[in-house]
Chain A
């Protein structure tokens, strides 16, 4: 048992190791500041590392994220705690923050693991793979995903049967079931909240039939189907292996709808759906792709041209809101929708429906700060105390915010807001 928590000191505490937290940390580190990143999950990279390609450049997301993540993880001024919970942050005075952090055990000695995957092969337990958004299974002893950082195995102790098969095959013998959580006290002079967003859960909307109809999937599941490290190495319906040829996109699934508790636009769904449609046309040249939309919000640099390009490639855009999605016996789906161009209610059949799910706030950071109140806005995003002139300032002096913690953002806007947060932090440290 660990008796006393270990105490560590840094200039900056960055909460969240997604692309915004990573960029903010890099900016600080490259100016000579010592930074610690606390990441809840097993890997850095947040949502971006899971994507297929990015709009409108169609760069492979893994190809541009992995070097960034690698740069972060190797920077001499950056310390990273993955699989760690931040439990509280106290502000004792200006430039004086104290955070309590617990590192959960991986049950693998990270320094010795070579990611050989023999433990994965040996493990008899199969559970749903959350990193592939439940499209396929994984083992209880597993590498989170092929480009995870750190690329180190972990034991999913909830599902592990303690059979010891992994221990027997591990060449460096680095599986250690005796590992326990370790507590740390971390002092820092400033903090950056980069806790990101949550995906809208469409099972809250009965008419979408998500979770019931087998071939209704979310856009994040489609990202995985399209990614270079994709589970099936092709696009298919995971329910029956059929290659889809009539695919529908339902935009604003969980956005711009008061009745679903989310009145705002999620800002990214139009574009990622258009991107997926273009990728699908490349992967399945014979497939028909229809995008049902309210408005197409192709607002950023090069986005409008990208939208026009998709229309030119033959993606069908139908302005209209989706009512009910019902499943037919063969697994195909009937979409009931309002066709705004004709003013009529219509029905259309598709063999795969993708719900373009939106951005939901992650309100967790509000509960972390104990001595001062980190306020949230009316939508439960982190409140910006001066949104126009200091967009990265929060209601606590010395605590700044980056990325989607303040609201929906695409990747460039997340990077810009991370730059903004790091500049604020350096200015504060220079005060």
Chain B
């Protein structure tokens, strides 16, 4: 039966229509074969247009639709949902990207952008003519989650998941949980120490019946997919190594950060006595009593140098580590509370005590701390000076003049860097950003989901955060992981590879090309042929071009469909 297609061309509120003449696009495609309806719209994704599409599909009995708008990454699922609601199988919907691929790419050439948009829409129409209805693959989902990392984010996520009645495996590399909480003193705004927080969390963990705590444990093997991941965990114990297999519906990664380690000589580190990092300083402060003494020297003044390992003018770490300004100001206030006679000097690049944290910066100013804002061109120079340390820097706050402070101790406010053990990221193939932290699927609206279905990220492995922010992100990731497993079953995309057994002569090429181990060899009446595991195949298409006998098709991207699109584009 001949298809009846409806075509919608989106203005994207000017994002498209400022460069692509969408009326012209509509006029050029409205008489294409099978097209019975063509419209332009201000926002195709908007509620009112979705309603219109729903009505159009029903009233005109449409058997396929095309929306020409932004990237399918944004709205493929939006319009599939519209089709479904209107009673049209969602795989009869075809997306044409005329924003990223036409209007934005060719904003300097409106005519060219319009011509390209017309071709892209025609190609989508060609595909829509051949599109077939498909049913999703339904799989069972294990009601269990693996939480990897037992710092504050991992602990909080595990507790939350357990309270939502999911079975939890909490996997910690170290011999004890707590992560960086062991190193933290006063944490604003609560004035609680890391140890105190950890005690509360450990008590909670003990009371949760759904949590299996695995310390000294590392994930070394990974297979499967959302709903049914299989992990191999190496456990080192007093009797040597053992291995355990666990099976979970979702994985929540909370592997945390490392503190930046300054290079030898960076602001005098490891070369000048009494130059230490913030974590070292916190330890010193924690263990000091009536007097603050370091290397036998009674400390009367302290200089803090900010942005060490962050916001580097020269160096790879361009990002801001977010937590350290507040952490440094808080540490200096702790000093003031314990030793009021000590003078603090802060060499900053502009203090970033954002939000309510501003209040502790105010307090620091009130107690008499001195702030110097150094220039990138004249960063602090740290030298030994008469038994103490001299810090010189150009100061933005005093006409860029060189300011010198003499201090007994220099504290380098070191930022956060990604965990140096990158094996887990490689194992899961988790994408990373320019800053080398794990990347979320969408920075604004989907900050804890990753491109790998079923794997969420929480806490500082995604980027620098303070404790409160880590906990929010952990509980947010717990909500998402829970939603993957709470219903007991999941629907997977049916867009996967399919092997034509009659022409396949097993040669292993497809299996080698597959990044997901989804291809295996089976015997088909005495002949070896390839077969695809339907729940692990992601439909990436890597196996298609390597097949010498052209025996593999990708459902919904068949040779016939692709060739029909190419014919249009190459005309």
Contact = CB atoms under 8 A, between A and B. Distances in A.
Interface stretch (A235-243, A284-292, A368-376, A417-425): A417-425
A54 B444 contact: yes
Interface stretch (A5-13, A65-73, A87-95, A160-168): A65-73
A31 B467 CA distance: 27
A415 B45 contact: no
Interface string A175-201: 000000000000000000000000000
Contacts of A430: 163-165
Nearest to A424: B475
A105 to B, nearest CB: 21
A160 B352 CA distance: 49
Contact of B396 (A303, A340, A409): A340
Contacts of A228: 12-15
B164 A419 contact: no
A263 interface: yes
A264 interface: yes
A73 B92 CA distance: 24
B525 interface: no
A265 B398 contact: no
Q: How large is the interface on B (under 10, 10 to 19, 20 to 34, 35 or more residues)?
A: 35 or more
A427 interface: yes
Q: Give 7 closest A-B pairs by Cβ, nearest first.
A: A419-B476, A228-B13, A420-B475, A427-B163, A295-B350, A301-B463, A423-B475
B553 interface: no
A125 interface: no
A281 interface: no
B472 interface: yes
Given A62-B43, A297-B352, A388-B197, A308 B435 contact: no
B42 interface: yes
A295 B47 contact: no
Q: Which range contains the number of A residues in contact with the other chain?
A: 35 or more
A64 B539 CA distance: 26
Interface string B441-475: 01111111000000000000011100111011101
B78 A70 contact: yes
Contact of A387 (B190, B359, B477, B482): B190
Interface in A11-42: 19, 23, 27, 30-32
A387 B78 contact: no
B545 interface: no
Contact of A304 (B46, B320, B356, B447): B320
B200 to A, nearest CB: 6
A431 B162 CA distance: 11
**Most chain-A CB neighbours within 10 Å: which of B46, B70, B396, B462?**
B46
B189 to A, nearest CB: 6
A95 B164 CA distance: 16
A413 B356 contact: no
B97 interface: no
B257 to A, nearest CB: 13
A281 B552 CA distance: 50
B469 A265 contact: no
A103 interface: no
B387 interface: no
Contacts of B362: 263
Given A27-B483, A31-B482, A301-B464, 10 more contacts: A31-B486, A57-B443, A62-B43, A147-B47, A228-B13, A389-B471, A413-B472, A416-B448, A417-B472, A420-B472
